[in-house]
Chains A and B, each alone.
Chain A
Amino acid sequence: GAVVSQHPSRVICKSGTSVKIECRSLDFQATTMFWYRQFPKQSLMLMATSNEGSKATYEQGVEKDKFLINHASLTLSTLTVTSAHPEDSSFYICSARGFLGTEAFFGQGTRLTVV
């Protein structure tokens, strides 16, 4: 399958700071990227969908000013958690889909801990 690289894999930050998570498709062009949040022993919760060059579409209940998503190129999308708080601590994972495919490939995820 195609390769999606997510970075960093783990980050610890202080409350009030911002954290940027990158998601790159390494061997294909990702027209659509999905960002998920996953709590322990729970399923993936879709936060937002982004198409290259367009504004992201956020799911209900997800604050767009808190979770800034940029999808400026066909191989890179970023999620910035602004003014992070301990309740933002979670596992964040991205997924990328190419032009023709309907399956999506996942990054390895980022475990964010806000202290």
Chain B
Amino acid sequence: EDKVVQSPLSLVVHEGDTVTLNCSYEVTNFRSLLWYKQEKKAPTFLFMLTSSGIEKKSGRLSSILDKKELFSILNITATQTGDSAVYLCALTDKLIFGTGTRLQVFP
């Protein structure tokens, strides 16, 4: 059975801290790993990772995929209160989501 596990489940940090969120999986034959941010309602798309070892970057967020060790990480540097959200990873094609990591950033 396909499985996507995220860790930690919950994280509380202060503004300015750097965080690393993990997504590990047991899925055969997937095309891409996706990261989403969910604040109140709909998840918003962050990154799509297809190749191993190639970092994707967007502002203070970056992500990388390791297909050999079967995981991906999402890094957020210099966190802000607006980064508080649930971060979800998912694998295509079936779009199975991980358990999510709830990040809370306090001033």
A interface, CB within 8 angstroms of B: 1, 4, 6, 34, 36, 41-46, 49, 93, 95, 97, 102-109
Contact = CB atoms under 8 A, between A and B. Distances in A.
A4 B45 CA distance: 13
Interface of B: 31-32, 34, 36, 41-45, 48, 50, 86, 88, 92-100, 102
Given A106-B43, A107-B42, A109-B41, A43 B94 contact: no
Contact of B45 (A44, A45, A105): A105
Given A93-B42, A109-B42, A104 B99 contact: no
Contacts, number: 55
A102 B43 contact: no
Given A46-B96, A103-B34, 12 more contacts: A1-B45, A6-B42, A41-B102, A43-B97, A44-B43, A49-B95, A93-B43, A102-B48, A105-B45, A106-B42, A106-B43, A108-B41
B56 to A, nearest CB: 12
B93 A102 contact: yes
A102 to B, nearest CB: 4
Query: Does more than half of chain B's interface fall in helix, strand or loop, or is it mixed?
Result: loop
Contact of A102 (B32, B44, B100): B32
Please indicate which of the listed interface residues B36, B43, B50, B92 has the most CB atoms of chain A within 10 Å of its own CB.
B43
A46 B42 contact: no
A36 B94 CA distance: 12
A95 B44 CA distance: 11
B42 A108 contact: yes
B42 A43 contact: no
A108 B45 CA distance: 13
Contact of A44 (B50, B88, B93): B88
A47 B18 CA distance: 35
